[in-house]
Every structure is written in C-alpha cells, then in structure tokens.
Chains A and B, each alone.
Chain A
Amino acid sequence: MPWFFVVAAGMIGYGLVDGLVFAPPDYQQGDAFRIIYVHAPSAWLSLFSYSTMAFAGAVALIWRIKVGYAVAAAAAPIGASFTLAALVTGSLWGRPMWGTYWAWDPRLTSELILLFLYFGVISLRQAFEDPARGDRASALLGIVGFVNVPIVHFSVYWWNSLHQGGTVMRLGKPEMPGSMLWPLLAMLCGFMFFFGAVLCMRVRGEILLRERQATWVREAVQA
C-alpha cells in the first residue's frame, strides 16, 4: 500500500508539473485547457470507482464473499468524491469556455445522475439496522444502477453534446500531441494508483470495523 502512494505521488507530481508548466497552451482554449489534467482523470475515476463498486457487490452477492461488501462499501464514498470533483472542475472549465458554469447537457446531466446514484447506494446501506442486509441491498442497487455507466461514457457520441468528444480513449491515434498527452496519461495512472491506495486503506478500515468482535482483530489491535 505505501508503494501505491509513492507511485501515485510520483505520477501525479510529474503530471502536474509537466501538464501545468511545460505543456504548450491549446490553440483554441489557451491555458484554460490545463484543467483537463484534473478533470478528465476525475471523470474517468468516477466511472471506474462505480464499476469497481458494482463488480465487488456482484462478486459478494453471487459467491457470498464478505470482502466484496467491504470493497463496495469502501469504494462508494471515494467514487462520489471523484464524481463531485469532476463536476466542480468541469463547471470551472465551462465558465471560460462555454460562458456558463452549468448546462443541461447529456454528459453533465448523466454525471450528475451518477452522483445521485452514489448517494442512493450510500444511504441505502446506512438505512438498514442490520448491516448485512444493508450490504446486500446496496450491492443490488449498485448492480442495477450500473446501466448508467455506459450512458455516461457514450453520451458524448450518442447525443450532440456541448461537451467535447473524447480525445484519448479511442481506437487509433489520440487526437493530442505527445507533449500534452503524456502528462495526462501520467495523471490518469497516478489517479488510478491513488484510488487503489485509498481503496486499500478504506477496505482495511472496513474489515477491522466489521470484524471487531473477532479474536484476530483484538490481537492485532492489542499488539
């Protein structure tokens, strides 16, 4: 786990310095495009966290693996934070580019729905007095809500959207020069590692909390 943090810090550090200082300004958007180095990874991670959560929930429901619930419970708040970060950075980006903080555009709206889904999953888990039932119910909701993930991802292609199309994740050559692309990819990987690190940390906390009656936890705490 410390390794995850080290790698994440290194990649985010490189991405930030290279992206914010050395990458050339965009010919259309000027320096304002640099917010992409935070915005795109957050948006990507908001979907990735949701998929992790739904997948962990499915694993836990189908094979009755208790760690899956812990992973799903740990991933939900992280994913909600990334979604919020993507929405906030996106609206800050939208102000100089589109002249508005918010537009009722398919991608923005579906990302907002994703945030509400996270809220639903989190509060459904907490609504049950019996944590085991809360776990299963919210895992099921996570799986049902998974239909939204492809909608968010492809909304740019399906509808004529104000939001610009994808420039990195596509077959063939990315529509971006290397000097801009490398810091972005570094940020993306850095965010992934950061997510992994925080997830491990939170899962550890969840497991300790859930197994607080078990002997091995007591021994570990006392040691």
Chain B
Amino acid sequence: MSVGVFRAMGLILRRELRLSFRRPDQLLQPLVFFLIVTTLFPLALSPLLSLLRDMAPGVLWVAALLSSLLSVENLFKSDADDGTLEQLALSAQPLGAIVIAKTLAHWLVSGAALVAMSPLVATALAIPTRAFGTMLASLALGTLTLSWLGAIGAGLTVGLRRGNVLLSLIVLPLAMPLLIFGASATDRAIGGESPAGALYFLAALCVFTSSLGPLAASAALRITLE
C-alpha cells in the first residue's frame, strides 16, 4: 500500500493538530507564557505609556521568541519517547516531508495562535493601531522562521536528557537576526516610517529557513535517532 507524499503530510498534520487539541494545557501554556512575560515588563520597568510604546516591539519579540522556544521542545520529544518518530523515520515517506508537516502543525498551534493574540497584548502595550498590520505580518513571518530554527534545534537535542538548556543555547544565537529585523519593522511602523525593508528581510529569512530548515532538521533527526 503506498500513500503519496502530500497525503502522508496531510495525515501527519491532522494527527499533530488532533494530538495538541486533545491536550489543551500544552496548547495554552506557551500563549499564557507569552501573556505573562509581556505583563512582567510594565511591572518591572514602568507603567508609563510613552515609555512602553518605545519598548513594546522589543518586548513583544522577546516574549514571542521565548514562548516559541518553550513549545518547540515538545516538537519531537513525545514521539521520540514512545518510538513513533523512529517508525516515521523508517517509513517510505521522506523524513523531510514529515518534518515539514510536524513543523507546520507546531507553527499553527503556537505561532499562528500567538499572532492572533498579539493585538491584545499590543493594545495593552500602547502600540498604535496603524502599526498592527506590520506587527502581525512581521510576527507571522518571524514565528514561522522560529519554528524552523526550533525544529533544527529540537532535532539536534531530541535524544538528550537535559536538552532544553542546550536547545536555547543553539536556537537563540541563530534567532538574533530575526529579533533585530522583527523589532525594527514594528518600531518603524509605530514611528510612521515605511517598514518595507525590514519586512522584506524577514520574508527572505522565512523563505531561506523554510527551504533549508527541513533538510537540516531531518539530517539532525537522522543523527540523533541512529
């Protein structure tokens, strides 16, 4: 019995989504984490709205980065623990396609949900409404890139007992250009300038990681699964 690649990817995507909706706590944790981290900044720094507006893009992006990192740890972990991942790797489908499906599912439940929630946080941080479009676009591109980077990191650390600290050590340096351009795009939009340059750069990073990320992540999985 042979199943086409796209059908297999669709099946895995559906399986992943169903699994995450069966465990709503895991689904909500990164989002609640995102909310809490962004709440901490006004408490720790100053509730002054003008000051908050200046820092809001950075706060948003750091929170998004950390919450994506938090959830990506589970990308391969439970499947690796019960042996599903090995079965998937041994199956006739290319491992890269499986990685793509799993990463897209991860992005849908963490990244896209985070993007959907960001206007709420942005209003609380006094980001003007005219910057919302840029912010949503930059976060959407950025969280997808983060999911790919996270997939590489998670693939490299999946067999390790204390992999979570190592995962951040691997992913955070790679994510720094993303943070710079993401925050500057939103910053420019708030200041009324054109954010096009930074957005193009984010899109380029997104395309780059989407094309090479699956290759790197599946190579990483092959190494750690052997």
Residue contact B224 to A137, C-beta cutoff 8 Å: yes
Report the Cα distance A127→B163, complex, angstroms. Answer: 8
B interface with A by C-beta (< 8 Å): 152, 156-157, 159-160, 162-163, 166, 169-170, 172-174, 176-177, 216, 219-220, 223-224, 226
> Across the interface, do B170 and A124 meet the contact criterion of CB distance under 8 Å?
yes
Q: With an 8 A cutoff between CB atoms, is A81 at the interface? A: no
User: 1/0 contact trace for A140-174 toward B, CB 8 Å?
Assistant: 11011100100100000000000000000000000
Seed contacts A120-B169, A120-B173; 10 additional CB < 8 Å A-B pairs: A117-B173, A123-B166, A123-B169, A124-B157, A124-B166, A127-B163, A133-B226, A140-B220, A145-B174, A148-B173
Task: Select which of B159, B172, B177 is within 8 A of A116 by beta carbon.
Answer: B172
Task: List residues of A whose CB falls within 8 A of some B CB.
Answer: 109, 113, 116-117, 119-120, 123-124, 127-128, 133, 136-137, 140-141, 143-145, 148, 151
A109 to B176, CA, bound (A): 9
Contacts of B162 in A (CB 8 A): 127
Contacts of B220 in A (CB 8 A): 137, 140
Of A109, A113, A127, A145, the residue contacting B166 (CB under 8 A) is A127
Whether B177 contacts A151 by the Cβ 8 Å rule is: yes
Interchain CB contact under 8 A, A124 and B156: yes
Q: Out of A109, A128, A144, which one reaches B174, CB within 8 Å?
A: A144
> Across the interface, which residues of A come within 8 angstroms of B156, CB to CB?
124, 137, 140-141
CB proximity of B226 to chain A, nearest CB, Å: 7
Q: Which residue of B is nearest A119, CB measured?
A: B169
Which B residues lie within 8 Å of A143 (CB)? Answer: 216
Kindly list chain A residues whose C-beta atoms are within 8 Å of the C-beta of B152: 144
B170 touches A141 (CB 8 A): yes
Q: Is the pair A113, B163 in contact by a Cβ cutoff of 8 Å?
A: no
Most buried by A among B156, B159, B163, B216: B156
Contact between B224 and A116, CB atoms less than 8 A apart: no
CB-nearest residue of chain B relative to A128? B160
Report A-chain residues with C-beta under 8 Å of the C-beta of B172: 116
Residues of A within 8 Å of B226, CB to CB, are 133
Whether B223 lies near A113 (C-beta < 8 A) is no
> Do the beta carbons of B163 and A140 come within 8 Å of each other?
no
Do A145 and B173 form a contact, CB below 8 Å, given A124-B166, A127-B162, A140-B223?
A: yes
Whole-angstrom distance from the CB of B172 to the nearest CB of chain A? 7
Q: How far is the CB of B171 from chain A (nearest CB, A)?
A: 9
- Complex interface: chain B residues within 8 A of A128 (CB): 159-160
Cβ-defined contact, A133 with B169, below 8 A? no
With A133-B226, A141-B156, A144-B152 known to touch, is A113 a contact of B216 (CB < 8 Å)? no
Docked CA distance A137–B153 (Å): 10
Q: Sort A-B residue pairs by CB-CB distance and give the 5 closest, nearest first.
A: A116-B173, A136-B223, A113-B173, A120-B170, A120-B169
| Complex CA–CA separation, A148 to B177 (angstroms) | 9
Taking the closest CB of chain A, its distance from the CB of B74, in whole angstroms, is 19
- Option from A116, A127, A136, A151 in Cβ contact (under 8 Å) with B157: A127
A119 to B226, CA, bound (A): 24
11 contacting pairs across A/B (C-beta < 8 A): A116-B172, A127-B160, A127-B163, A128-B159, A133-B159, A133-B224, A137-B156, A140-B216, A141-B170, A144-B152, A145-B174
